[in-house]
Structure 1
Amino acid sequence: MAIVFVLFALLVLAVIVTANWYVWRRLFRDTTRGPGPARRAGAVLIAGGWVLAITALVAERSGAPFWLQQVLAWPGFLWLALSMYLLLAVLAGEVVRPFLRRFLERRDRAGERAAEAGAATPAASPTEKVTVPGGAPSAVPAEPEPAPASGPPGDAARPPAPSRRLFVSRVVGGAAAAAAVGTVGYGTYGVLRGPRVKRVTVPLAKLPRGAHGYRIAVVSDVHLGPVLGRGFAQKVVDTINATQPDLIAVVGDLVDGSVKDLGPAAAPLAQLRARHGSYFVTGNHEYFSGAEQWVEEVRRLGLNPLENARRELPFFDLAGVNDLAGEEEGQGPDFARALGDRDRARACVLLAHQPVQIHDAVEHGVDLQLSGHTHGGQLWPGNLLASTANPTLAGLERYGDTQLYVSRGAGAWGPPTRVGAPSDITVIELASRQA
């Protein structure tokens, strides 16, 4: 098993090194005439970016001083996103490159043909008048003026025009770099601006008429940490409160760090307001960050942790189960404890961080499961990979008599960037079929 892991690690390392060499070649080697400072700077940029990224990940996981995590996180995590989109943009440039080269070749050939046609047309030779003794003036060809010995001043110092191949490489490389930087910049702005509100109506067969229009604000994957701090938490809280929900559901991955480091960042959660309170279940990242301490901290802030537990609300049962990551600590999900003895004639809403827990929810007669975890893929084309590991990537789907809603999440993990998967806070409006 250890040998397989080592071989896999070496394969991944080889792929990463090859990909980055390819990016360096296209952006720096192919766009310069020869060895020089530009190529060395490109190598330092790419290698340095990966050093920062790896160091940032290690610092976060090893519990390094929080100030150091913050210093490393911004450049290191952003490089992860930028390097991916540089690679994708350079690969896309391979499609454009031959078409641009052919266009330039045709343009040059057309120019050469026009020049040849102009040279083939004889021009009248200049003449000058001379007087022959004893006769009339006669026109004779004038002596051509000697060509200047050298061109205009400064021509000798002017660099030669780039070759067609070099010109194409510079155009494609420049466009690829601009596209990658623009994509990451816009995706980062989208995260820092804060999540937008998404509204979804979910009909429940067992919901009484009095609960028609009941609003549940669902927030997941806030990921408070070295990058997203107290200011971001305040934006999330303000956005939720502005929807005036009846109930607030925080479905995991609230933090990436200890209570000691992130307690001040999470403090705005105490301002959450809903008619029937705020509830919390753990996500996998809570178990990387000290789940027991965070459960106590959110309770202190006024949230109600549901650790494999259930509350009977006026119109339906609200249950919550721990995340699957808790199994390693003996605190995994326990559906029997949370749902085993409930009255199945009542509607039931379940909070469970990961969408894959839907299969247990179906077995226990849950009407609606609210989840997060996927981030909607966060960085395209990451959605293609995430969709293979989750039954639902984002949105509302039905599994038998159970409906599953998956939020794309409010924050971001790793790079504070989203591409093709904008962040959201979802207001679920329950609908009674009796209304």
Structure 2
Amino acid sequence: MAAADQDNGWRFAQCFGDKGDVEDVTEADIISAVEFDSTGDFLATGDKGGRIVLFERSEGKKGCEYKFYTEFQSHEPEFDYLKSLEIEEKINKIRWCRRQNAGHFLLSTNDKTIKLWKIFEKPLKVVSETNLLVDATPALGGNLTRSSLKMPRLIHHDTMIAAVPRKIYQNAHAYHINSISVNSDGETFLSADDLRINLWNLNVSDQSFNVVDIKPVNMEELTEVITAAEFHPSQCNLFVYSSSKGTIKLNDMRQAALCDKHSKLFEEEEDPANKSFFSEIISSTSDLKFSRDGRYILSRDYLTLKIWDLNMENKPVKTINIHDQLKSKLCDLYENDCIFDKFECTFSGDGKSVLTGSYNNYFHVYDLQSESDTVLQADKSAFKAKRVGSSKNKSPTTGTGANKSTPRNESINFADPADFSKKILHASWHPMENTVALAATNNLFLFQQS
């Protein structure tokens, strides 16, 4: 597919998936997870049908182009007979593990079960049949001599790609798993549900250690739930987790086996004048990510992106408004449940930009240096990027680390009535290049900056 250049440098590169209308898409085909590996040569997607599809970078192609690599069924629907609950096969998260040999390893999880998959190329060999030739077989009139007699041998016929579950980590979560994160030590990973965070060793599937437990003795006293968790990119003893109250807690596993007391609490005081019925819902953090150097944390709530400095806990160093135009529609969004949509966010590989999604298949690429917010659209019908608008904030700040809020461009408006069925919830940024992968319903879009 041809890619049209945009004046801001971002352009549509590729699209994978059914190009039909949203109404024709089955629930099982909706993409629910997107993740580049550490090299950017492979890209994984998971869907609500429990399938994982891998894409490999095409060699010899100009730019960053990918081709289909393999597909396999990661999870199947299950039934919990003790609780009389159906367990969906939907893939909640995918995380690549450190590569140790020719194979690839990745973790995938649904609501209850985490699996470690090995994906590798397996040669198919067949037995040569040189002794069955007519001229060398006595039964068929041939003369069998010492020189014509050959031992059967295996010859390469084809190469297949196999996916094998190496480990299955289960029976450790009473609530839905919302996060998995591989540690920088390459040996452990954590998994988080609404009330607990567990630490696993990749080689031990039948035992995990509970490192965070916020479940109250009386569930009627429950005031918050865990929404996301992630390890520090280089310090294997540190991890953060966010809550439905909009707080982020940094924990150090060297201090205690059970991290019931956090090391740092990142929280912004809410203006009482702005408090409303929806305040707690829209302040809930849906996703968080560390920058590659581990200095900053990026968090996403319903209306904003926030960037936190690990050395400043009382407020973010920058707040980027994403959904200002939806403040007047919160009642409608509550009625149709869209206010509970969980948008992901991510840093660029160099930490200079951030990315998150929005409705109508819009997504935001915010340049932290120029303070410009570029909004593009994954247009399924035209298969090209539409540059909707950009804004640049050059307002003075009140000293180092001042809270900066970028105003939205008033020219960016959702259709009326807004199409909330089209939304970019899941995205991943290439670790080495300015290439992003985004899930739009059942389609995978790739955009890159030239």
TM-score band, normalised by shorter chain: under 0.3
- In the superposition, the TM-score normalised over structure 2's length comes to 0.22
Q: Which has the larger radius of gyration?
A: 1
Identify the structure with the greater helix proportion.
1
- In the superposition, the TM-score normalised over structure 1's length comes to 0.23
Greater relative contact order (CA < 8 Å, ≥ 6 in sequence): 1
